[in-house]
Amino acid sequence: MSKEKKGSPTVNYRISIADDDTHVSLWSTKFTKMNAIIAAVTALVVLFALAWCLIAFTPMKTLIPGYPDARTKHEAIQNAIRLDSLENVILKWDLYAENLRRVVDGEKPLDIDSILDINTDRTLSEARARKLAEKDSLLRKEVSSEDKFDISSSAAKALPIEGMHFFTPLKGVISQGYDKALHPYLDITAPGNSVVMSVLDGTVISDGWSDDDGYTIRIQHESDIISVYKHNQKLMKKTGDKVKAGTAIAIVGGTGNKADGDHLHFELWHKGEAVDPTKYISF
Per-residue pLDDT reduced to its tens digit, 25-74:
888 888 788 888 888 899 999 999 988 887 777 777 666 666 666 677 77
Nearest to 194 by CA among 173, 223, 224, 180: 173
Rounded to an integer, what distance in angstroms lies between the CA atom of residue 258 and that of residue 214?
8
Rounded to an integer, what distance in angstroms lies between the CA atom of residue 204 and that of residue 114?
52
Rounded to an integer, what distance in angstroms lies between the CA atom of residue 170 and that of residue 266?
9
pLDDT value at residue 99? 77
> In the structure, what pLDDT confidence band is assigned to residue 126 with cuts at 50, 70 and 90?
low
Q: What's the rounded mean pLDDT across residues 146-168? A: 65
Spell out the alpha helix ranges (H) of the chain. Answer: 33-57, 70-104, 112-118, 126-146
pLDDT value at residue 158? 57
pLDDT value at residue 56? 75
Convert 206-240 to b/e letters by CB count within 10 Å (16 or more is b): ebeeeeebbbbbbbbbbbebbbbbbbbbebbbeee
> In the structure, what pLDDT confidence band is assigned to residue 118 with cuts at 50, 70 and 90?
very low
* Portion of the chain with pLDDT greater than 70, in percent: 76
Degrees to nearest 5, angle at CA 156 with 155 and 159: 80
pLDDT value at residue 17? 85
pLDDT at 79 over 70: yes
Q: 163-279, which class in CATH?
A: mainly beta
Rounded to an integer, what distance in angstroms lies between the CA atom of residue 232 and that of residue 213?
9
Q: Which of 70-74, 138-142, 212-216 has the highest mean pLDDT?
A: 212-216
Rounded to an integer, what distance in angstroms lies between the CA atom of residue 190 and that of residue 175?
10
> In the structure, what pLDDT confidence band is assigned to residue 8 with cuts at 50, 70 and 90?
low
End-to-end Cα, the chain, rounded Å: 129
* Portion of the chain with pLDDT greater than 90, in percent: 40
pLDDT value at residue 155? 42
pLDDT value at residue 130? 65
